[in-house]
Structure 1
Amino acid sequence: MNETGFAVFTERTFEVEVLGRSGLTLVDFWSEGCAPCRQLGRLLQQLATEIPSGVRIGTVQIEENPALAERLGVHAAPTLMFFKDGTLVATRTGVDRRQVLKKLVETHA
């Protein structure tokens, strides 16, 4: 877990903790020094209190996991990916309103 209380995924753990997990997992691909990344992080903190308890939120720091970001086609930060039962079901780049993110969670949870 990082300082936000979210899971921290890496190139080594992603296969098991995201692709091998049942249920919905939100993965926030972020970059150090990225102001929109910090803004999305705050939105995800708020969202975490409003979503079903089975939904997992985690982060991937792009500079520390470049091969994973490249493999998944992450070209911008922040990028938020929604994985349902290990399958990518939605991707958002940039920062959306909390209501938009909540609706996406409800749609895929």
Structure 2
Amino acid sequence: MTIGAVGAVLALTGSGSPLRGPFALFFLFSAPASAIAAALRGLDPYGRVLASVAGAVVVDMLVAQGMLAVHRWTVDGGIVAVAVISGLTALSVFVRHMRRRRTADKGV
């Protein structure tokens, strides 16, 4: 995940590094895939990997399609949009986990 974060930072700062493209591409696939994988804890490992990779492709394509449809496509905007969607997905998983933990602590 560190490589993805470095890629996002390199892309957002406009760095001329040759690693900017591959690392940013890694971020665009790893961020939504890891968030979706966290949400799919009940699946077996192979199904979870397959569903999270497919979900990452879908998130990336929907972001690109939506930005192109409204004529607002930018590389920075795409990276930010994917980061926000992935962050919200991960946040919802965290909130759901905390709620379950709180009810388990109460003994309900």
* TM-score normalised by the chain length of structure 1: 0.30
Q: Which has the higher contact order (CA 8 A, sep 6+)?
A: 1
Question: Which structure: greater strand fraction?
Answer: 1
